[in-house]
Amino acid sequence: MERPKSMLCKGLLLTDPEHPPQPGWIRVEGGRIAEIGRGHTDEKAEVGGAEVILCPAFIDAHIHLPQIDSVGCDGLELLPWLEQVVFPAEAWWGAGAAASMTRTAVQRMVREGTFGFAGYLTSHAQAGAMALGMLASGVDGARLRFAAGRVAMDRNAPAALIDEDIARARMNPTPGVALSGDGLGDRGEVSVNPRFAIACTDELLAECGWLVRKRAESGRPIVMQTHLSESVPECRWIGELFPGDRDYTSVYDRAGLLTERSVLAHAVHLSDAEFELIAQRRAVLAHCPIANTFLESGLFDLDRAREHGVRVALGSDVAAGVDIAMPRVARAMIEIAKIRKMTISPGADVPKPSEAWSMITRGNADALGWSDSGRLEVGAHADILALRVPETWRDGFLIGRLLYNWTSDLIVDRVVAGARVARVDGVS
């Protein structure tokens, strides 16, 4: 990996997907965009060229690193899929596979142009600490931006995944559900990740909420990630486990887990009251269209979420999501909206390709509280893709062509945190 003090990138700048890319250049210093100029320059550039499109790299708002090799285990709904596929994979991570799987996950994200993510590890503290250290230091020269943390869970799962939280609670009543975020630098932050309410007792959810509150009071609000209303059987089980709560969302609200830095994945089966509560708390829903169809969980109602003023991000949700490439996730969002319009909601709005592209760049960044990522602007983290597309694509349908024809072969160069990554996972 090259770490120049200064780097020049030039080409056609795709700063706004509503408008065609225009000739320009970007100067990178210290991992951030220092200058942006319009027009051509004769100065030699390390990245790009006259016909190369420069755009922000993608951000994934929901991914499970330990599930990176569990893609494609089909034929199961959510709860049996967790039991038969995911829990064994996460036990394997804790038994010694964390380093290799972290490397694989980063390689595959970088290959597809994803340089930032909000993600889950497992419930194993030692393996999680190692994974966070790897992410912070960089994997094969790529220092991704991330919010990630160990999963909190203390019931309804194999002993290998719940024993640590049970033992910790017995030994020390002080909340300790999240790993320390010290030493992660300006590219990483620890998150608190209660898996979902089914796998957490009231006491564990309260501990997570305590941590969220204390971090907010200290002026360093923490990202909270969990799952919400993904499948009908899951929602029914929640009703049995928490009979005193009005609904699934209220379980998290009672624990103090709904804030503007909360990312709630799926949210397929929500009532109007739940949408209203989420909007009031300014929490974010991570729409995972590919995962929802793979597990046959349902079709997320994007139109309804927007009507309630709820913030929505996009996530791959690997491994229930079978595709790690965010342009293809964005395409799936459009396709789900079209299916709903044709079958369920005739008046539903369908996002334009430019809206979908914005969601997987600056939209996801803003949802995670990263106002200096996902964009080509002075002061932003220098996470840049250089794309070479057929000349026939450079028309009013460019963004749609990118989404519907996406392949990593379109990427001719990658700048991650201001450093050119020359080779990742066989891609040079």
Q: What is the mean pLDDT of residues 67-95?
A: 98
Give pLDDT, residue 87. 98
Q: Which of 151, 130, 135 is nearest to 185 (CA)?
A: 135
Would you say residue 428 has pLDDT above 90? no
For 26, the enclosing helix (H) or strand (E) is: strand 22-29
Q: What is the mean pLDDT of residues 285-297?
A: 98
Give pLDDT, residue 178. 44
d(CA 62, CA 152): 16
Q: What is the mean pLDDT of residues 171-190?
A: 68
d(CA 247, CA 135): 36
CB atoms under 10 Å from CB of 345, counted, come to 15
Q: Which of 275, 344, 268, 242 is nearest to 77 (CA)?
A: 268
Separation in Å, CA 324 to CA 59, 97, 113, 288, 401: 11, 20, 10, 11, 19
Instruction: Sketch out the chain's domains with CATH numbers.
Output: 6-57+375-420 (2.30.40.10), 58-367 (3.20.20.140)
Q: Which of 219, 230, 232, 225 is nearest to 252 (CA)?
A: 225
Would you say residue 192 has pLDDT above 50? yes
Residues of the chain with pLDDT > 70: what percent?
A: 95
d(CA 298, CA 293): 7
Strand ranges inside 352-418, DSSP E: 384-387, 411-416
pLDDT tens per residue across span 302-312: 999 999 999 99
Would you say residue 229 has pLDDT above 50? yes
Give pLDDT, residue 170. 83
Residues of the chain with pLDDT > 90: what percent?
A: 93
Give pLDDT, residue 168. 85
Give pLDDT, residue 425. 60
Report the half-sphere exposure of 261 (CA within 13 A, side-chain side): 22
Which range among 154-168, 181-195, 302-316, 366-380 shows the weakest confidence by mean pLDDT? 181-195
Instruction: With beta carbons less than 8 A apart as the criterion, state whether 147 and 191 touch.
Output: yes
d(CA 171, CA 268): 38
Instruction: With beta carbons less than 8 A apart as the criterion, state whether 373 and 146 touch.
Output: no
Instruction: With beta carbons less than 8 A apart as the criterion, state whether 308 and 272 touch.
Output: yes
Would you say residue 410 has pLDDT above 80? yes
Q: What's the whole-number average pLDDT of the chain?
A: 95
> Which residue type does 280 have?
Q
Give pLDDT, residue 51. 95
d(CA 361, CA 323): 17
d(CA 173, CA 38): 58
Q: What is the mean pLDDT of residues 145-163?
A: 97
Give pLDDT, residue 39. 96
For 51, the enclosing helix (H) or strand (E) is: strand 47-56
Would you say residue 3 has pLDDT above 50? no
Q: What is the mean pLDDT of residues 139-150?
A: 96
Give pLDDT, residue 176. 47
d(CA 405, CA 402): 5
Backbone angles phi, psi at 416, to 5 degrees: -115, 120
Would you say residue 2 has pLDDT above 50? no
Q: What is the mean pLDDT of residues 221-247?
A: 98
Instruction: With beta carbons less than 8 A apart as the criterion, state whether 329 and 300 touch.
Output: no
